[in-house]
Every structure is written in structure tokens, then in C-alpha cells.
Structure 1
């Protein structure tokens, strides 16, 4: 079993590289996403293997890794879990994910829109699913005054760049 914390990864062939990639990818994506109109593709793939928020709506927006585990019964696949926190008015610009994503709302309300579908609002205890390659057009806090939070569970290929921001 593999575990991820802010500082280390255990039981992996390259634990230091993976841990640095997770922490570095999150930090770089947040800083660059707020400062420059740069897509995630401009950031080294080694620096952004985990879903990283380039939210521009609130300085309180953040993505925190919770865990990442190889799936022993599905060769080459990994499940990665992150906590996404949106400050009041926070959002993530349009993006795609490499694998399947299930999101579970733990605080506040989240507005979401996939591809040409409707904009939906999800409350605490509700969840939504993103098939691989879906365009996530809207991912935002539904409130301009209260924070919101979700837990995202990715199932993707080992080593995949989980989030790619769109122009």
C-alpha cells in the first residue's frame, strides 16, 4: 500500500520524486495559475501529477493531496484522492482530467458543468462523476460569502498528468 503526505511517500520505487512532484505541482500550479495566463501544459509533467487548482476567484482556493494508491487488481492504474477548497467566489478555470473522477461535496455548495451539459449545483453529501476526457467547464463555489469543499477521487493511469487546463 502506498501513502502520500505533504512530505513523503512510502513503498514506491521513487518515493522522493513522487512526493516532490505532488507538493511542487500543487504549489507551482497555484502560484502560476494566479499570476499568469499559463496552461498546465506549460508546467513540467513531473511537477503536476495531481489535480492542481489554478483557481482565480479567491486567494483561499487550494488543493491538498490526501492519498494515492496503486490498484493491485488493475495493472497500471492508480487511485488518487485530493481535497479541493474554494474560498468565497472561488473557482477553477476549464480543464480536463486524464481518468475518471468522482467528487463528493463536504462543505458548502459547488457549481459544476461538464461539456455541453447543464450547470448543476451540488450540496453537502451529494456527488458527481466525470468520465475520462470530459471537459469540466464550470467548477466553482456557489457562494460569494461562504467557503466550499469537495473530495475528488481520481482513477487514472499510473504517472498520468491528472489535470490539464484549457485555453
Structure 2
């Protein structure tokens, strides 16, 4: 066997494995997809007030639901995970969340101010915590030229409106 044919044979084996992995992944996605729309519609509805403020800052600002799960060991509570994208200069209006929120910065820098506390800036890999009932006065992209992103994990009562905008 020549080096050329050996290389070709080795290349086919990973391709078959990759094809099987893709088919398996699609099958799992289809199975999950049948149950997911009801959950994601619920999550999207609960997040609507947070999404509504995008028109007031940047058209690139958006909230993307990732998942929502009942906590079997804490009856009546649910964990909900979302990705928040802020375009350059993007922000959210002052708001309050039901339950607790932990935010983890995945891109850029986020400015945040809770209640009467100081305005803080968090970068990639940093996180901050919002206790139940706290007011989030500043939630904004720290950059006017680059996008920013965070993952927010809510733990709140089942059926709670996760975000309430403040007047």
C-alpha cells in the first residue's frame, strides 16, 4: 500500500465516524425538538419585557433562550438559561428579575449596577450575582464599537415573569 492510498483509507474512517455522529446528533435533536417548543415558548414569553428594550438601544441587542428546566429537588422552582447579546453601545433599561440571577460574560465587557451599588465592569470569564428583588439599574455593553455577550442563569418560581422593566 502506498502512502497516498494509506492516507486516503485513514481519511475515510474518520469520515464514516463523523457521518454516524452527525446522524446520531440529528436524531437526538429531532427527539428533543418535539418537546422543546412548548418550553421555549414559555421561556420566550417570560423574557419578552427584556427583549422589548432592544429597539431602544441597538438592533443587535437580543435575548436568546437556551433552556429551562424544573428543579426536581426544589419543588416549584425552575432554572432558565439565556444568552444576552449587546451590540456596540447596547443596553437594557433598568429592570428587576424574579428570583436569583448569575451572569457569566462570554464576549466583550459588560457594565452593571445593582441597586445603589457602584457601576462595575466585568470582562470575559467574570461573573456577577443578582440577589432576588434587586434592581438592575445598569446593564450595558461597555464598548461603543465592539459587541458583548453574557449567559444569564435564572433560578425563580415556576411560572414567574423573569424580567420586569422599571419605570
- TM-score normalised by the chain length of structure 2: 0.74
- Measured in 1, the distance between the counterparts of 2:136 and 2:66 equals 22
- Measured in 1, the distance between the counterparts of 2:88 and 2:52 equals 15
CA contact (8 A) 1:84 1:149 kept: yes
Task: Map 1:29-44; keep pairs closer than 5 Å.
Answer: 29=48, 40=49
> Equivalent residue for 1:85?
85
Task: Map 1:109-148; keep pairs closer than 5 Å.
Answer: 109-148=109-148
Specify the SS of the correspondent of 1:58. Answer: coil
Offset of residue 9 of structure 1: 6.7
Give the 3 Å change call, closer, same or farther, for CA 22–73 of structure 1 in structure 2: closer
Task: Map 1:1-167; keep pairs closer than 5 Å.
Answer: 10=35, 16=38, 18-23=39-44, 29=48, 40=49, 52=51, 54-55=53-54, 56-167=56-167
Higher radius of gyration, 1 or 2? 2
- Measured in 2, the distance between the counterparts of 1:19 and 1:154 equals 14
CA contact (8 A) 1:53 1:63 kept: no
How large is the Cα RMSD of the aligned pairs?
2.1
User: 1 or 2, which has the higher helix percentage?
Assistant: 2
* Structure 2 gap segments, 5+ residues each: 1-31
Specify the SS of the correspondent of 1:139. Answer: strand
- Measured in 2, the distance between the counterparts of 1:135 and 1:52 equals 17
Offset of residue 20 of structure 1: 3.0
Offset of residue 57 of structure 1: 1.6
CA contact (8 A) 2:40 2:65 kept: no
* Structure 1 gap segments, 5+ residues each: 1-6, 30-39, 41-50
Equivalent residue pairs, number: 135
Offset of residue 25 of structure 1: 5.8
Residues 62-102 of structure 1, C-alpha deviations (whole Å, 9 max, x = no match) = 00000101101001000000000000000000000011000
Offset of residue 54 of structure 1: 1.5
- Measured in 1, the distance between the counterparts of 2:159 and 2:45 equals 15
